[in-house]
Chain A
């Protein structure tokens, strides 16, 4: 047994040396470490009670990332992305009544390899599905605290009636229909042609995503970015559904910016076709960005639901890699057979530090 082990070890060493000796000189290799801490103090009031939380901002959680790439020859670049989040008391996981530090979750976000070639980019592993981000185009500079995925900062807070009965969480009644998020997939992106890219990805459960993106800078007219995606969740979801979603964001050179996002889902055998509308108007100047938003999702948790919100956000970026932010949001739920559902108010103040 011992002899076998040493035999195996020596064979392995020989193979390793041969591989290392056989490596071609690389043209350019880079390995990078980066990440961010994103923490906030959040106050929320469900109409019956209120609470102050120390949270990790669910819009863009605390995480670290290791990336590396190598140009193996003039036409092929090989790269890897390894990204994990470490969320302690995530803002999307807390509800009023929680008096402790909540949970600490160490989650995979991206673990993928990619190959950039003249005919496009092929990615394999856990990473963004083709449709991820298509409903979240946002040039307002305030997305760290306020963007179309409104449930990220407060998804687990329950709407309650005036007898303090739980009705539904914000997260169960709101979505921006933004693809299948990150998943284990194979993805292909065409080369960028005049700012436009087409993408397709396939994941487990025979689900697939198709997406188109465009971004262009028009000098005096400013910048515009737009995206749209079609998703067939197939057997990955029960009940199965298909979905279409997209967004457009425009940033004028004056700093005024406008963002709209919309999407709808066709859910099998339920008779429900939920839809989402979201709009944001903002102004960016110097190190400051302010914005107001309105969004509504209909029929997601139950037919004839209308889950709405209004919001105001401010972000300041005084130094490289450092942002301070604050937001105030009001959430409302109209449900056909339930009256006296209290509004939810939320205030968040925090900072994101990139390292």
Chain B
């Protein structure tokens, strides 16, 4: 008796409420969850090929570490935005690190680079 009642309620809810409310895609129990994964930012998973980008590339290069055939890790390519973020962090560090041994070492490294350029 309860089963038909529950199902009747379902149909009524579907019928009455379909006049209002914004549609959405509910999660499916048992399926791979929607949304980004641990390696990716995309909604559905890693994009192996995207014709809009016209290249084979992972969806989120900044979060991946490319592994060569020998198994050694190589740094991944970063996007312009991440380069910019790194540059801003570097500016902050430069401002706060004046007088520290690290800053002195950095100045020595710059002098050494100039010296190398001069030798060429």
Contacts and interface: CB of A to CB of B under 8 A. Distances in A.
Interface of A: 26-36, 59-60, 63, 65, 67, 133, 136-139, 143-144, 147-149, 152, 192-196, 212-218, 223-228, 244, 246-249, 260-264, 275-277, 319-323, 352-355
Contacts of B20: 216, 218
Contact of A225 (B3, B26, B30, B39): B26
Given A34-B45, A246-B7, A217 B29 contact: no
A277 B4 CA distance: 11
Contact of A214 (B9, B17, B45, B51): B17
B48 A32 contact: yes
B23 A29 contact: no
Given A32-B42, A277-B2, A355-B38, A139 B27 contact: yes
B92 interface: no
B70 interface: no
A257 B48 CA distance: 37
A341 B61 CA distance: 56
Given A32-B42, A194-B23, A260 B6 contact: yes
Given A139-B27, A319-B38, A214 B3 contact: no
Interface of B: 2-3, 6-7, 9-11, 13-14, 17-33, 35-42, 44-52
Contacts of A228: 7, 10-11, 14
Contacts of A33: 45-46, 48
17 contacts: A28-B52, A32-B44, A34-B37, A36-B37, A137-B29, A143-B27, A195-B18, A195-B23, A216-B21, A216-B24, A217-B22, A224-B17, A262-B2, A276-B3, A277-B3, A354-B35, A355-B46
Tell me if B's interface is mostly helix, strand, loop or mixed: loop
Given A67-B44, A215-B26, A320-B41, 9 more contacts: A26-B51, A32-B44, A34-B40, A34-B46, A36-B32, A216-B17, A228-B14, A249-B26, A275-B2
Contacts of A28: 51-52
A223 B28 contact: no
B10 to A, nearest CB: 5
Contacts of A137: 26, 29
A32 B42 CA distance: 10
Given A217-B21, A248-B9, A29 B32 contact: no
- Which among B27, B41, B52 has the greatest number of chain A C-beta atoms within 10 A? B27
Contacts, number: 175
A310 B65 CA distance: 44
A247 B52 CA distance: 40
B54 to A, nearest CB: 10
Given A196-B18, A262-B3, A248 B26 contact: no
Given A138-B27, A217-B22, A228-B7, A212 B39 contact: no
Contacts of B25: 215
Contacts of A321: 33, 35-40
Contacts of A59: 29-30
- Which among A217, A275, A321 has the greatest number of chain B C-beta atoms within 10 A? A321
Given A216-B22, A260-B6, A60 B32 contact: yes
A224 B21 contact: yes
B63 to A, nearest CB: 10
B46 A32 contact: yes
A288 to B, nearest CB: 16
Nearest to A147: B29
A321 B45 CA distance: 10
A355 B44 contact: no
B26 A63 contact: no
A147 B30 CA distance: 9
Contacts of A65: 32, 45
A216 B46 contact: no
B72 to A, nearest CB: 21
A224 B7 contact: no
Contacts of B47: 30-32
Closest 7 CB pairs of A and B: A34-B45, A216-B21, A195-B23, A214-B14, A321-B37, A143-B29, A225-B26
Nearest to A83: B32
A148 B10 CA distance: 16
A227 B25 CA distance: 13
B27 A354 contact: no
